């Protein structure tokens, strides 16, 4: 508990925004160099979510997809220019991740207020927090001081971002590669308590996951829910049609996701494996705990997303502070 406080005091003494290479992130990083930075982000995110409630989940997802590829460095925001092949074109992202215009707007106002000061990677982290809060979820102190990458990794985006048809073993391995454990996997999966998914992402769940002869009782239990999903997502075509990840409270950040998957009504295959493939029960016990206690889920989610936000961050003289989040500086 004392180490982060010491780091913050040192940062304040040396001037916020003066991290050296290898130092951890701190709370209040822009307190002197751009005192209204977090307020600017919050206001733009609030307007965007008011216009489009789905945007909250989209901005949280941007932070997640950024951190799982080379770390939380804003690489997902880069367009294909020069020798850079954008992560936006990778399979898990193309025609799926969104919210780039909101980040552009935030960056515009920050550059007006505090030129060349606030990184795009930090914008993603703050916007993720504000998006969760605006939809009824928990708040937390965002640790800041990230710098932006000088490149992107199209290959990494295809390799490291979890897929909607992942097995539980695959998910555990995928999160483990990022230094995240089973507890983080379950807590961060709870972000599927709001937002939408494309038919392309959940078709397997509707038409392939269960054989009615082999799993008769389970299949019968899901008949109505599967019928609703099949009306949205035909067996062929309609790849871009959307369904809510949480069909009960689709625009709220709450613990309904865990209740849904216990009732075998998770939208994605990768949601349902948390309860269907956990033969030792460790994950299932966490799911039951969060389903019965919203505050417990909120506390675990905050701990895990802060941990995720520290994956392979660039600080000090590493990387750069982009003036335009879509392009490296010239």
> In 3D, which of 80, 100, 99, 82 has the Cα closest to residue 90?
80
Q: Is 27 annotated as a binding residue?
A: no
Q: Is 162 annotated as a binding residue?
A: yes
DSSP codes joined into one string, 90-125: STTTTTT---HHHHHHHHHHHHHHSTTTS-HHHHHH
Q: Is 75 annotated as a binding residue?
A: yes
Catalytic (active site) residue 63: no
Could you tell me the two tokens for 6? 């010491």
26's CB contacts (< 8 A; 6+ apart) are 4, 7, 8, 11, 16, 19, 143, 144, 145
Q: Is 66 annotated as a binding residue?
A: yes
From the candidates 63, 65, 269, 279, give the one annotated as an active-site residue.
65
Q: Is 246 annotated as a binding residue?
A: yes
C-alpha to C-alpha distances, 76 to 88, 145, 209, 211, nearest whole angstrom:
6, 18, 31, 38
Tally DSSP H helices, then E strands, for the chain: 15, 2
Q: Is 137 annotated as a binding residue?
A: no
- Strand, helix or coil at 313? coil
Q: Is 73 annotated as a binding residue?
A: yes
141's CB contacts (< 8 A; 6+ apart) are 27
C-alpha to C-alpha distances, 233 to 117, 267, 301, nearest whole angstrom:
45, 12, 30
Q: Is 264 annotated as a binding residue?
A: no
Burial of 212 (0-12, 13-18, 19+ CB in 10 A): exposed
Could you tell me the two tokens for 158? 């295809």
Q: Is 224 annotated as a binding residue?
A: no
Torsions phi, psi of 192, nearest 5?
Answer: -75, 15
Counting every residue written for the chain, the total comes to 330
Q: Is 181 annotated as a binding residue?
A: no
Q: Is 186 annotated as a binding residue?
A: no
Q: Which residue ranges make up the annotated binding site for Ca(2+)?
A: 66, 69, 71, 73, 75, 87, 193, 246, 249, 254
Q: Which residue ranges make up the annotated binding site for substrate?
A: 162
Q: Which residue ranges make up the annotated binding site?
A: 66, 69, 71, 73, 75, 87, 162, 192-193, 246, 249, 254
Q: Which residue ranges make up the annotated binding site for heme b?
A: 192
List active site positions.
65
């Amino acid at each position: 508990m004392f180490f982060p406080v010491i780091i913050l005091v040192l940062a304040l003494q040396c001037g916020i925004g003066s991290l050296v290479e290898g130092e951890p992130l701190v709370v209040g990083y822009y307190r002197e160099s751009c005192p209204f930075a977090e307020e600017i982000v919050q206001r733009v995110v609030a307007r965007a979510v008011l216009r489009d409630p789905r945007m909250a989940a989209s901005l949280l997802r941007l932070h997640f997809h950024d951190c799982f590829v080379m770390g939380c460095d804003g690489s997902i925001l880069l367009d294909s220019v020069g020798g850079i092949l954008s992560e936006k074109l990778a399979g898990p992202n193309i025609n799926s991740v969104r919210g780039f215009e909101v980040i552009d707007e935030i960056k515009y106002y920050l550059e007006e207020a505090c030129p060349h000061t606030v990184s795009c990677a930090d914008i993603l982290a703050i916007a993720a927090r504000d998006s969760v809060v605006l939809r009824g979820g928990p708040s937390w102190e965002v640790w800041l001081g990230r710098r932006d990458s000088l490149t992107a990794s199209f290959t990494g985006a295809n390799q490291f971002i979890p897929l909607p048809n992942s097995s539980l073993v695959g998910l555990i391995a995928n999160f483990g590669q990022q230094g995240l454990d089973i507890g983080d996997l379950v807590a961060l999966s709870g972000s599927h308590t709001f937002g939408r998914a494309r038919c392309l992402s959940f078709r397997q769940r509707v038409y392939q996951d269960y054989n009615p002869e082999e799993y008769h009782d389970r299949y019968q239990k899901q008949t109505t829910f599967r019928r609703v999903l099949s009306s949205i997502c035909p067996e062929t075509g309609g790849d871009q049609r959307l369904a809510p990840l949480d069909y009960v409270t689709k625009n709220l950040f709450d613990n309904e996701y865990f209740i849904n998957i216990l009732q075998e009504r998770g939208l994605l295959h990768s949601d349902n494996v948390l309860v269907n493939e956990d033969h030792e029960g460790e994950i299932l016990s966490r799911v039951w705990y969060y389903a019965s206690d919203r505050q417990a889920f909120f506390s675990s989610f905050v701990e895990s997303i802060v941990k995720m936000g520290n994956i392979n961050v660039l600080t000090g003289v590493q990387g750069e502070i982009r003036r335009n989040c879509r392009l490296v500086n010239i």
